[in-house]
Chain A
Amino acid sequence: MSAATSVLPAAAAPARRGPGLPLVALLILPIAAVNALGFLAPVLNLLRMSFYEAQATGAMAEVYTLATWATVFGDGFYLALILNSVGVSLAITLLTLACSYPIALYLHRASGTWRTLLLVLVISPLLTSAVVRTYGWIAILADQGLVNNALAAIGLSRTRLMFNLTGVIIGLTEILMPYMILALLAGFGRLDPRLEEAAATLGAPPCAVFRRVVLPLTLPGIALGSLLCFVLAVSSFITPKLLGGGRVFLLATEIYDQAIVTLNWPLAATLSILVLVVFGAALVLYTRALRAML
């Protein structure tokens, strides 16, 4: 019974009287102020810039026009770009989930020093920047890199593993794994080994235990980790830039090109707003999924 109350704290919450409205407002104020200054104001500025006129020379005129938005929705390239970004990010999220889930499950059950050691191993990649880790992947995936040399040594032909979509997916999957594992662990609170034991005692084979007990109880973790990784994948830019070889077209890399290379800031701003819309859609899906689970 104690296990049941501890895994369902939400059920007990309404009985407690929450703090009064003024106190809530006061407590929210600092984060609201930080968000207004550091997030809302720049985003509104970006929104305004997306309506500025981009001249052919790269000059930006502070005249309002819908031209950039019309280009984005009228040009098949940008629509394909959005779909491509979402598709690639979903694939990366699924792959990250598949690689991280068994590790997280094992970590959840491990205990003592062993668990601490493994946790440190999982988190330690976060101590080096994504740029450094991406360069590490270049050394591994290059034509004369570790993997290709190994393939050649056993008599297989070398394959192109980077400067294409494959490289971007491999690199980002590894880079996002620590986030996924931590999110999964955070969401595994309801998973209790005694429930699995009970199911096994009642005659359920291991796969049924996993399907009917473990998986449903870990769904909140899966949803949280997937949301986090998807958002990080859509907005990641350094890894696709370094491992994509200019062949992988994603929203984030296109925003960079428009802002830094072609100087079309209104277009870069418009695409940035669209990234936010994609995030919003992901968030809505996440809350819907979470509500369905609880």
Chain B
Amino acid sequence: MKTSTVLAAALAAGVAIAATHALAQQTVTLMAYSGLFQERYTAAVVEPFMKANPGIKVEFFGLPNSAQMLGNLRAQKAAPQADVVIMDVSVSKAATDERLLVKIDEASVPNIKDLYPSTRIPGIDGVAVTFDNLMLLYNSDAVKTEPRSWMDLADPRYKGKVAFNGMPDIQGLSLVLILDRARGGTDYLRSVEKGIAAAGEIASNVQTWEPKPEIYPVIVSGQADIGLGWNARAQVNARVSGGKLKAVLPQEGSVFQVNTINQVANGPGKDAAAKFIDYALSAEVQKSFTEVMYYSPTNARAQISEAAIARTAAKSMDKVIPVDWIALAKVREPIMEQWRRKVIPLSR
């Protein structure tokens, strides 16, 4: 009897302390990419947000990829720990379908009225927060003349010197889509046969379909001469490597990779989570993040510096091939099948 009284008292005290604490300080847990993204996003978005909102603390929970974020959301479905998740649009679709997210609307996040129309994707609860695009990367010591076409990857002089993430990674898939269109393909949802054939021509040059730890150091170190990578990270690596790695947008154009920002259903942070999302989508914050990490902004009102915008695909929108990643997910398996049968064997 006595023990239980003490326990109850302790519990009550604990609850009281927690309650006062909650009043004084709310915590928003943000789940997003670790590494370079975490470092730059914390400096450009998270810290300024906390300065502007002293009552809200943001915890950055970094994970290497979107799939692991979905894994966490699935595992915590009964008692979510995260409030806001930044992840790839196709993973966001899966999370939406599993009812792990809340729909973001203008009532809770007013800034979405300033976003480009393409940021609000049907069937997805979140909205686009960054656009990135596929680039051709090369080592400027080994490659003296700037490549102009994706098909330069098939040039015999790069035999054994080409590296990129093949399918099922979306870089390999993106390349197939770009090449399919360049070769006259019209509907990637129906057939990408031409793209697969073109990728097959590149296959015999490929050193590795899985550059590790990622493509950028592999190109910088000269282990591979030429490859594919995402623009934002490529631009940062180009600067850090002193121009050893160079990135170019080839003539056939490129595709966008879309990161969405999402609010977790029943997250502990509640309205503070929506407040953070609104802040992350504001014109000023989009400007400062683009200027340090070179993702194309999704807010139409963001006034990006000339130097930074030149490093994004925002200036060459006419070269961006529209891809419906959600519809594409349904035909991904058959494309993978063709990749396995018609591309990989040519690289042996």
Contact call A262/B332, Cβ cutoff below 8 A? yes
Q: Determine the chain A residues whose CB is within 8 A of the CB of B333 once the complex forms.
A: 56, 262
Contact call B97/A160, Cβ cutoff below 8 A? no
Q: With an 8 A cutoff between CB atoms, is A122 at the interface?
A: no
Contact call B210/A241, Cβ cutoff below 8 A? yes
Contact call A58/B93, Cβ cutoff below 8 A? yes
Q: With an 8 A cutoff between CB atoms, is B98 at the interface?
A: yes
Q: A245-B207, A260-B65 are in contact. Are A57 and B326 (CB under 8 A)?
A: yes
Contact call A262/B210, Cβ cutoff below 8 A? no
1/0 contact string of A75-105 vs chain B (CB within 8 Å): 0010000000000000000000000000000
Q: With an 8 A cutoff between CB atoms, is B168 at the interface?
A: yes
Q: Write the chain A residue with the least CB distance to B326.
A: A57
Contact call B329/A163, Cβ cutoff below 8 A? no
Q: Write the chain A residue with the least CB distance to B100.
A: A59
Q: Determine the chain B residues whose CB is within 8 A of the CB of A164 once the complex forms.
A: 348
CA–CA, A99 and B206, complex, Å: 32
How many Å from the CB of B257 to the closest CB on chain A? 14
Q: With an 8 A cutoff between CB atoms, is A263 at the interface?
A: yes
Q: With an 8 A cutoff between CB atoms, is A35 at the interface?
A: no
Q: Determine the chain A residues whose CB is within 8 A of the CB of B347 once the complex forms.
A: 247
Q: Write the chain A residue with the least CB distance to B90.
A: A58
Q: Which chain A residues (161-216) contact chain B, with CB distance < 8 Å? A: 163-164
Q: Determine the chain B residues whose CB is within 8 A of the CB of A58 once the complex forms.
A: 70, 90-91, 93-94, 329
Q: Determine the chain B residues whose CB is within 8 A of the CB of A61 once the complex forms.
A: 98
Q: Chain B: how many interface residues by the 8 Å CB criterion?
A: 35
1/0 contact string of B244-255 vs chain A (CB within 8 Å): 000000000000
Contact call B68/A260, Cβ cutoff below 8 A? yes
Q: Which chain B residues (61-78) contact chain A, with CB distance < 8 Å? A: 65, 67-68, 70-71, 74
- Contact partner, A142, options B94, B95, B223, Cβ 8 Å: B223
Contact call B97/A55, Cβ cutoff below 8 A? yes
Q: Which chain B residues (191-226) contact chain A, with CB distance < 8 Å? A: 206-210, 212, 223
The residue among A164, A257, A263 with the most chain B CB atoms within 10 A of its own CB is A263
CA–CA, A56 and B341, complex, Å: 21
Q: Chain A: how many interface residues by the 8 Å CB criterion?
A: 25
Q: With an 8 A cutoff between CB atoms, is A107 at the interface?
A: no
Q: A77-B340, A247-B344, A263-B67 are in contact. Are A57 and B93 (CB under 8 A)?
A: yes
1/0 contact string of B89-125 vs chain A (CB within 8 Å): 0110111011000000000000000000000000000
How many Å from the CB of B249 to the closest CB on chain A? 25
Q: Which chain A residues (249-287) contact chain B, with CB distance < 8 Å? A: 257, 259-263
Q: A58-B329, A142-B223, A261-B168 are in contact. Are A247 and B94 (CB under 8 A)?
A: no
How many Å from the CB of B343 to the closest CB on chain A? 10
Contact call B97/A59, Cβ cutoff below 8 A? yes
Q: Determine the chain A residues whose CB is within 8 A of the CB of B141 once the complex forms.
A: none
Q: Which chain A residues (214-256) contact chain B, with CB distance < 8 Å? A: 241-242, 244-247
Q: Which chain B residues (140-191) contact chain A, with CB distance < 8 Å? A: 160, 166, 168-169
Contact call B67/A260, Cβ cutoff below 8 A? yes
- Contact partner, A57, options B65, B94, B166, B207, Cβ 8 Å: B94
Q: Write the chain A residue with the least CB distance to B345.
A: A247
Contact call A163/B208, Cβ cutoff below 8 A? yes
Q: A56-B329, A58-B90 are in contact. Are A257 and B348 (CB under 8 A)?
A: no
CA–CA, A37 and B168, complex, Å: 34
Q: Write the chain B residue with the least CB distance to A135.
A: B212
Q: Determine the chain B residues whose CB is within 8 A of the CB of A247 once the complex forms.
A: 209, 344, 347-348
The residue among A242, A246, A247 with the most chain B CB atoms within 10 A of its own CB is A246
The residue among A55, A58, A261 with the most chain B CB atoms within 10 A of its own CB is A58
Q: With an 8 A cutoff between CB atoms, is B330 at the interface?
A: yes
Q: Determine the chain B residues whose CB is within 8 A of the CB of A261 once the complex forms.
A: 67, 168-169
The residue among A55, A247, A257 with the most chain B CB atoms within 10 A of its own CB is A247
Residue positions of B touching A, CB distance < 8 A:
65, 67-68, 70-71, 74, 90-91, 93-95, 97-98, 160, 166, 168-169, 206-210, 212, 223, 326, 329-330, 332-333, 336-337, 340, 344, 347-348
Please provide the 7 A-B residue pairs with the shortest distance between their CB atoms, ordered closest to farther: A246-B209, A59-B97, A58-B94, A245-B208, A56-B330, A246-B210, A59-B94
**A–B pairs, 23, beta carbons within 8 Å:** A57-B90, A57-B94, A57-B330, A58-B70, A59-B94, A59-B95, A59-B97, A60-B74, A60-B94, A61-B98, A143-B207, A242-B210, A246-B210, A247-B344, A247-B347, A247-B348, A259-B71, A260-B67, A261-B169, A262-B332, A262-B336, A263-B91, A263-B94
Other contacts beyond A77-B337, A142-B223: 20, CB < 8 A: A55-B97, A56-B332, A56-B333, A57-B94, A57-B97, A57-B329, A58-B70, A58-B90, A58-B93, A58-B94, A58-B329, A59-B97, A61-B98, A241-B212, A246-B209, A246-B210, A247-B344, A260-B68, A261-B169, A263-B91
